[in-house]
Amino acid sequence: MRLKNAPIFLSLCRMTKTPLLLCLTLNTLLAIQPLNAGEPDEEFLDAMREVGYFDEALLYLDKMGTSPLSTAAFRQAIPYQRGMTLISASQRTTDNLKRTRMLRSAEVSLREFAENHSQHPLRTKAQIQLGNVLVEKADQQMELGRRGNNQTLIASARSSFQQAHEYFSGLRDGLEERLDPINTVQFDPSQKEQKEARDNLRTDYLQSLVYVASVSEAAAGAEEEGSDERKALLEKAAGEFGMIYKAYRRKTVGLYSRLYQARCLQKLGQELDALSLYTDLFDQPNDAPVFRDVKLQAIELAMRIWLDEKHKKYAEAVNRGSTWLRSADRDERNSQRGCAIRLSLAKGNLLYAAYLDEKQPGNTQANQLRADAKDVATDLTKIRNPYQREARELLADIRGGGEVKMTDIPRAATFAEARDLSNEAMQEFQNANYLMAMLPERIRYEKDEDEKKKLSGRLKQSTVDVARFRQQALVNLELALKFTDGDAPQDDLNLIRVFLAQIYLSRGQYHNTAVIGEFLARHYTATSTAQPGAQLALNAYQQIARTQPMSEQFARAKLKSLGQFVLDTWPAESETAEAALVLISFAVEDADLKKTRELLDRIPEAADKRGDAERMVGRAYWAAYLRAIDGKAASEPKTPEVLALATDAMNILAAGVGKLTSDQPIDYPTGLSVLALAQAYLENHRAVEAMNVVDAIGYGPMQLIKGDGAFADKSPLVEETLRTALKSYVGAANETGASGKINATIIELKKHSGNDAEGKKRLIGTLVGVAQTLQKQLAAASPEQRTSLAASFATFLEQVGKEASDFQTLFWVGDSFRTLALASDSGKGQPTAEAAEYYIQAQEVYDDILAKGKADSKFFVTSTSAVQIKLRSVTVKRRLYKFTAAMDLLVEVLSAHPMMVNVQKEAALTYQEWAGFPDRRALYLKAVAGAHPDMDRKNENAVWGWGKIGKLTQGNPRFREEYFEARLKMAECRYLYGASASGAEKAKYLAYAKQDIYRTSRAYPKLGGDQHQAQFDALLRKIQAALKEPQRGLAAFKQKK
């Protein structure tokens, strides 16, 4: 069993994505007649996939898996068919998240089939499609990377292309190995199955040859233009295609390989060599459909070279293009490639005319060429195609201007004349009207002054044309209705009504438009003019609601009624999207999220307005989420329902924003959608995606705040964009290029926040919020990530410290620097350079706080705030070995607050640590006995030392921990002092240390619990070792008792 139209390398068929390539079926490529499917199940499935009913196809496969109506052979191939369906569906969606999921599911299904059916005829096809999934992934990574200028994604794309190349190379080698023993075997008629299997194997092998070369060409797209890597990949692909052509030049696969070889040469800049190969192809005598497809592609690509300013082969372009146009059938002319050739032909006619004018002004051939260009471009504007806009612009360049005069307008004398004249005028009016609506936006964003001048000329001409042809159409449309009799075809009459409604709409006669449009929609529902009529009526009612306050309620009621009628009458038509959008806007106003989602689901995925609807609904979900969390603390847990709002907003907005293109003008509502998506990504902890959206080329918010961007003149949105960008850069700090954007964004944010108190408050709030986010990331970071995150966090702290002036914020900054230092500091020996730098920054903030407190008595928030800061400062100074300064601060505090036990502890600890330095051993004794006699307190030491701390805290439950710590530290200081002495002094202080522990254990046998007991025991063993006694620890005291 074989598929009737098995798609080859589906991911490479979308010319707007990877430029690869093989928009053919397998049977077309290899010129092998397909076998009859012989399976109604399979034919039905193919039909559903062909028209894009992928959900229905998947549901059908699920049902047929258990249906007694399906054959065993079909059921066996269901995983393969599911994988193929998912791949096809992934190419129709612009929702990147949905596309990724589909590809992942396709990979699972295809792998299941390939692994479980090693002898199945479709196994190789499944293996090929597994490679196809790799290319799809690479394609998606490259597209997203280019869109967001994300080098990490582009690098991933390169890696994925490399994997795909290795995969297909291995598949090719395996097929060749299987084919070698049977390639030349002559099968007799009784061996039909063996011959068919051999032919299928040959087909798969030839297909794999093309895939290997095609992946090399695709991979070149992930490299920088002009790079050695790109050149090497294209040369490799050209060489591989050339080898296929050389071996199979008489087969269709050889001709296609020749075509792709030429395309690679064209990309390499070897255009004349490529042109030589193209010429060979479209001079082939065979006119079979497969050959015509090769020729069609060759002419399309060759046109680009002929029309290039470097070559100026305009005559050749006109000759070849005109010859093709005369011989092409309707389907070929109206195909995407056919339309591309027709546009190139129209351009070629104009370029050739200009060339002849330059050589010989007034040349009659030049005039004919311009007339031909106008005819070709006009025909191209009459059908929906990707080049319609360019064709309209070309017509604006061709057509001459002039003032509108009633005497210049041709007037009909019969119904037929009026119909034809109005049709002609309407075509011209629609083209000019389109340009008049589109050109201002293009002029706004155009950077090249010459091009801007050219576009302005087109706009001026289009304005004149709109007035002229609207008047001509109006006169003759009204005449047509006047000449109407019983013999006039109803379809002609209705078309005239549609045109008349369009003219009325353009003239602001909204009620007339609405009446005619709704009449057509409700009374001629089954005709081709009903839906255009409904669309016009909807537009008119919207204009009435916006511009006529007295009729607003009437228009809104009409919009709801007519919108629902359109959805119910034409539920599966993409043109109904406008009606759904209208109803969605009402549902958004009513905060009815369920209704917005239901209406969104009724808009086909491929509809032009689907993206607009997704962005509108996504914004509604995001607004609902913001309302749900408004006024609540960030630390407050969110309910599952609230979290679902953020997730739904993200997914819907991602689908809508994913449909934007980098060259699409972005208006204010669309910009808000993109900004909301970035914020939704951040809320869902997907900072890398947020950064890609913020920086997206063409529509990213960071571009919209510049120049003539949609946000540039809206200060609050500029600030909001910068805040969002800053959060995304920080969240993605470990991504290449992110950290470098942080400082620049902070500078911009400071500039836009202003110098007033409110602006500074917003700025500090943003910086603190972002820093706290980074602080959380730092806590969860791996050792490899920690250094860069810590540096980014420090950058934020420094900025906050510069901007803040209140105690609490500065205290948080200083403590955060101190925390960074502690995290980088083992606490043993000299601190690392990184830790020392953070300690110094903490100290600078603490000094600033103390200076501000000294200058302003109201600066500190509590009476103990200054003491708190001084103690923090002491810990920092001590770690930086600034012991004198630390003790000065401690004595200053203790002179005023001698009973602060925590401060006394810090003073004793400072002496103890200081004593460990050369020539400072005497400070161990000060750590025990205290120092700094206070004249105001009868010469009592301001610093108590461990001895007095222990004495004054003994028996007080409130200071239980402080007591045991003091006793331990006192013994430790005496031990360290004795260990650094010699002779009798050594023995004396070691004995003191031992006695301290013994007395404490006598008073409190449990020594304050297991932790303290273990510390006393360890210290005692050291003392015993120094005294050359058995190291039995606390057990020695039990024996002594």
Residue with the bigger pLDDT between 731 and 142: it is 142
Q: If you average pLDDT over each of 118-132, 765-779, 902-916, 1026-1040, which comes out highest? A: 902-916
Percent of the chain at pLDDT above 70? 91
Sequence letter at residue 919: D
Lowest mean pLDDT among 300-304, 337-341, 586-590, 794-798: 794-798
Alpha helices (H) along 40-122: 40-50, 54-64, 72-76, 78-92, 96-116
Task: Decide if pLDDT at 288 tops 80.
Answer: no
Per-chain mean pLDDT for the chain: 84
CB–CB of 300/325 below 8 Å? no
What local confidence, expressed as pLDDT, does residue 216 receive?
92
Q: Give the per-residue SS3 of 175-190.
A: HHHHHHHHCCCCCCHH
> Average of pLDDT values for 722-749?
78
Contacts of 149-152 with CB under 8 Å at 24 or more apart are 149/695, 149/696, 149/697, 150/688, 150/691, 150/692, 150/695, 150/735, 151/736, 151/737, 152/688, 152/735, 152/736
> Average of pLDDT values for 763-774?
72
What local confidence, expressed as pLDDT, does residue 989 receive?
94
Residue with the bigger pLDDT between 192 and 380: it is 380
Q: CA 945, CA 912: separation in Å to the nearest integer?
A: 10
- The string of pLDDT tens digits covering residues 474-484 is 888 888 888 88
What local confidence, expressed as pLDDT, does residue 996 receive?
93
- The string of pLDDT tens digits covering residues 689-719 is 899 898 888 888 888 888 777 787 777 888 8
In the chain, what are the domain boundaries? 404-488, 905-1041
* Torsion angle, alpha carbons of 321, 323, 328, 334, to 10: 20
Residue with the bigger pLDDT between 1041 and 564: it is 564
Residue 272 pLDDT class (50, 70, 90 cuts): very high
> Average of pLDDT values for 287-313?
87
CB–CB of 934/895 below 8 Å? yes
Residue with the bigger pLDDT between 706 and 320: it is 320
Task: Decide if pLDDT at 290 tops 80.
Answer: no
Specify the DSSP class assigned to residue 35. P
Roughly how many angstroms between the first and final C-alpha of the chain, as a whole number?
A: 96
What local confidence, expressed as pLDDT, does residue 652 receive?
93
What local confidence, expressed as pLDDT, does residue 12 receive?
29
Q: Helix or strand or coil: residue 25?
A: strand
Residue with the bigger pLDDT between 39 and 285: it is 285
Burial class (CB in 10 A: 0-12, 13-18, 19+), 51: exposed
159's enclosing H/E stretch is helix 151-179
- The string of pLDDT tens digits covering residues 599-620 is 888 888 878 788 999 999 999 9
CB–CB of 932/891 below 8 Å? yes
Q: Model-level pTM?
A: 0.55
Task: Decide if pLDDT at 300 tops 60.
Answer: yes
* Torsion angle, alpha carbons of 156, 161, 162, 168, to 10: 150
Q: Which residues of 532-552 are buried (b: 16+ CB within 10 A; e: fewer)?
A: bbbbbbbbbbbbbbeeeeeee
